Structure 1
Amino acid sequence: MSTEAVKHARQLLLKEYRGVLSTHSAAMPGFPFGSSVPYCLTENGWPLILISRIAQHTKNLKADPRCSLLVAERGVEDVQANGRLTVLAEARQLDDASAIDAAAARYYRYFPESRDYHRAHDFDFWSLQPVRWRYIGGFGAIHWLDDVALSNPFTRAGDAESGMLEHMNDDHAAAIAHYVERAGLPSAPAAQMVGIDSEGFHLRIGQTIHWLAFPDTCDNPGAVRQALVAMARR
Structure 2
Amino acid sequence: MKIAVIGATGGTGRRVMDRALALGHEIIGVARRPESLSPEEGITVRKGDVLDEQSMVNAITGADVVISCIGPPSNLSPESAAKNLGNIRAGIHTIAANFSPGTVMSDGIPNIVSACQRTGVKRIVMQSGINLSDGKELSLFNGLAVCLMRSIFRKAIQDKSKAEQALIQSELDWVIVRASVLQYAEGTSHYTAGPLARINPLGALPFEDCADCLVRAATSEPEWTRKIVNVGR
Q: Same fold (TM over 0.5)?
A: no
Higher relative contact order (Cα pairs below 8 Å, separated by 6+ residues): 2
Q: Which has the larger radius of gyration?
A: 1
Whichever structure has more helix as a proportion of its residues is 2
TM-score bracket, shorter-length normalisation: under 0.3
Normalised TM-score (structure 2): 0.26
Whichever structure has more strand as a proportion of its residues is 1
Normalised TM-score (structure 1): 0.26
